[in-house]
A and B are shown apart, each in its own frame.
Chain A
Amino acid sequence: DAGVIQSPRHEVTEMGQEVTLRCKPISGHDYLFWYRQTMMRGLELLIYFNNNVPIDDSGMPEDRFSAKMPNASFSTLKIQPSEPRDSAVYFCASTSGEENYEQYFGPGTRLTVT
């Protein structure tokens, strides 16, 4: 398996622009997670899905952030409009529902908003 795939790997955009981050989970995994990593706040869970349904979005910072999972093999995280404080590394991770299964992380998308 190719592992969790994220695109793009790097994104530089100007404040006010829309940004879309993409994730393809490992085939057969029914949980998908979006995390954000910054120096100040560490690793934070933004939202997670189970069987394509959003379960907990309490970590989404504000209405500028939205996430979708239209099918089992694809998810997006959108920021509109983007702000400099959104600059971070965004990780997507997936896992099965088994108790001792680790979350497999994608390589991350480094977002820079200028």
Chain B
Amino acid sequence: AQKITQTQPGMFVQEKEAVTLDCTYDTSDQSYGLFWYKQPSSGEMIFLIYQGSYDEQNATEGRYSLNFQKARKSANLVISASQLGDSAMYFCAMRSNNAGNMLTFGGGTRLMVKP
């Protein structure tokens, strides 16, 4: 079974600063994918970034990067130059390639950006 742990229920960051949201995972599978989603107060789930377990480079998408440490089973999201619009819930999720395409989600981290 897969498990995703996000240990930070809530975080504050000053506008324009960088912030790291933690995510650790547990799986016995060798092939898997890690995802981050953003959920603003409006409720929709917005895909941010993906990292495959065999990818050697850390994934980057604009201001988002994923700090992937396979041996530690961590996949932290780094948001650079925080903006007020980054205030939202952030969910880490994992897909095991041996279990169809279903995602297992962590409990989420609420990020609040201060002006």
Contacts and interface: CB of A to CB of B under 8 A. Distances in A.
Nearest to B99: A56
Contact of A31 (B35, B47, B101, B107): B101
Interface of A: 31, 33, 42-43, 45, 48, 50, 55-56, 89, 91, 93, 95, 97, 99-100, 102-105, 107-108, 110
A108 B43 contact: yes
A51 to B, nearest CB: 12
Contacts, number: 51
A45 B103 contact: yes
Contact of B97 (A33, A99, A108): A99
A112 B100 CA distance: 31
Interface string B41-62: 0011101001010000000000
B29 to A, nearest CB: 13
Q: Is the interface of A mostly helix, strand, loop or mixed?
A: strand
Interface in B13-41: 33, 35, 37
Contact of B33 (A93, A99, A110): A99
A100 B50 contact: yes
Q: Is the interface of B mostly helix, strand, loop or mixed?
A: strand
B47 A45 contact: no
Question: What interface size band does chain B fall in?
Answer: 20 to 34
A12 B65 CA distance: 40
A91 B47 CA distance: 14
Contacts of A110: 43
Interface in B90-108: 91, 97, 100-108
Contact of B102 (A45, A89, A105): A45
A42 B107 contact: yes
Contacts of A108: 43-45
B55 to A, nearest CB: 9
Given A42-B105, A42-B108, A102-B35, 16 more contacts: A33-B102, A42-B107, A43-B91, A48-B100, A48-B101, A48-B102, A89-B43, A97-B101, A100-B50, A100-B52, A102-B47, A102-B50, A103-B47, A108-B43, A108-B45, A110-B43
